[in-house]
A and B are shown apart, each in its own frame.
Chain A
């Protein structure tokens, strides 16, 4: 177990370096002056330009720039952004909001997706199953941002069940509407994966054995069928964190959530290279760690999986 964990941690190092290098290269090394992009048509004093160029090592060769960035990232010395706000404190303020949004969305899609998928799989070919399958196809086909606008309009403005925009005070209750929209996009995939997996496991030998021994009802369904059906679902949920973060950029804009996605979008539009690189690196780190956790969950879900060879 420890050895497996160590090996996996070592494997994530090249991924992290590669991703940050890729993003850093694209932002800083390709044609176009980031300082000029920041000020657009305005002409700042030369001292300000020199200061910024010095702070981001923009006059040094690319590898030194990147090395300095990597060292700063690892020592959590994130520096200031182009507007001289410390990036670390900005992140500390906005990151929990997006984390809340993502966790809430993940819970919504997992709970509803697994429940509906389980019922559909157990009653394969019945009315419920066919209805749920058709609905899930339609949900997949609707872009998240359209869903966002429709939900905002229907539940926020017309029905008044929730606040149409979140604003500064983002808590669990305020985030329900954006989290539902974000979760709904992947809900359909969770549902279909659970359904397919349950259908396959229903006929597995250990389920036949369990029911031959007289087991039935919740215990058979939950511990024998559902638990063994969870591996593809959990894998998907881990990999899906990436698209949740992409979706957060869109959804946070529509619902005015003060989170990482919103900040990233603004930073990209303003050409704030360092902020973009740091935010994307942090998101990639979260994504990689989440998928590592998913791998460790496998052994708990299926005791036949052992990490030590």
Chain B
């Protein structure tokens, strides 16, 4: 692509004008990789800067909840305060059980973000492995894995999770880990399809043929040359799925099949506040806002990454 484009500018009638690039072009400049180019573009995008700052903030909340609130989330809950309005020291009021809403939101961040991160890690492991193997080896492996991903794709995530979460081994050991396991077991096909597509595209590249002809083993070529070059769509999809999975956890907890009561999470708090929605809607709205802001920041990051990696926007910006 690059060479074609440069050639267009260099080809000019020789007798009329000397052979010069039409655009001012720094020929000495070092070549930037796809990643460096994406990073160079990302640093200048407000969407990326805002979403990174928001995610940084969320990480700080996850690691040091004590920085944001001194009120313990589950102690000093007095039923006299049940669904009470905000008072000094308790900026967002009290839950039905008389606990501090703000403190519960701050401490609930950990579980929600942990489920999201663990689910995405699971999906990355399953999806990238299956996608890479089926795209690279092809043949019957591809056929089997494609049918397998069709099967899981045809089973909507929430419906499947509803069934899996009711199984006795899962139901009796509800935790952050089981919820993440259920989500990753059902949520991988999208990642697998994207990886497979990228691997198919890269497999025919010249550097892959070169690696093969130099005697690198088939698996070595896949691991060292093909996979690192198909990471762009994976990196774009990962934060988007992270956001989706945080919502899924909240949905499952809302249905009563997600995290156990003992784990504080936004989904739990929203579910616990649902019968108060007509009288004290804000108890439900506050954790929902926290959830939405978190999801929003990951989706924005995914959006910014997509713009930076997308080949079309690359071409457009170079022409300009």
Q: Looking at chain B's contact residues, is the secondary structure mostly helix, strand, loop, or mixed?
A: helix
Q: Looking at chain A's contact residues, is the secondary structure mostly helix, strand, loop, or mixed?
A: helix
User: Given A18-B151, A30-B168, does the pair A137, B277 have CB atoms closer than 8 Å?
Assistant: no
CB pair A15 B151 closer than 8 Å: yes
Residues of the B chain whose Cβ atoms lie less than 8 Å from the Cβ of A141:
243, 292-293, 295-296, 299
| Min distance, Cβ A31 to any Cβ of chain B, angstroms | 6
Size band of the interface chain B makes with A: 35 or more
| Min distance, Cβ B5 to any Cβ of chain A, angstroms | 17
Taking the complex as formed, is B278 at the interface, i.e. its CB lies under 8 A from any CB of chain A? Answer: yes
Which of chain B's residues has its CB closest to A253's CB?
A: B255
Which of chain A's residues has its CB closest to B256's CB?
A: A269
CB pair A149 B284 closer than 8 Å: yes
Which of chain A's residues has its CB closest to B254's CB?
A: A145
User: Given A26-B163, A31-B169, A249-B255, does the pair A19, B296 have CB atoms closer than 8 Å?
Assistant: no
CB pair B288 A140 closer than 8 Å: no
Residues of the A chain whose Cβ atoms lie less than 8 Å from the Cβ of B292:
138, 141-143, 146
- Of A82-90, A103-111, A240-248, which stretch is located at the interface? A240-248
Q: How far is the CA of A284 from the CA of B154 in the complex (A)?
A: 6
Taking the complex as formed, is B251 at the interface, i.e. its CB lies under 8 A from any CB of chain A? Answer: yes
Out of B148, B247, B256, name the residue touching A143 (CB < 8 Å). B247
Out of A27, A32, A245, name the residue touching B159 (CB < 8 Å). A245
Interface size, chain A (Cβ < 8 Å): 47
Taking the complex as formed, is B274 at the interface, i.e. its CB lies under 8 A from any CB of chain A? Answer: yes
CB pair B288 A142 closer than 8 Å: yes
Interface string of B153-164 (1 = CB under 8 A from A): 111111110111
Q: How far is the CA of A260 from the CA of B282 in the complex (A)?
A: 31
| Min distance, Cβ B182 to any Cβ of chain A, angstroms | 11
Which residues of B line the A interface, CB within 8 A? Answer: 147-148, 150-151, 153-160, 162-164, 166-169, 243, 247, 250-251, 254-257, 270, 274, 277-278, 281, 284-285, 288, 291-293, 295-296, 299-300, 303, 312
Q: Which 3 A-B pairs have the closest CB atoms?
A: A246-B158, A32-B168, A18-B151
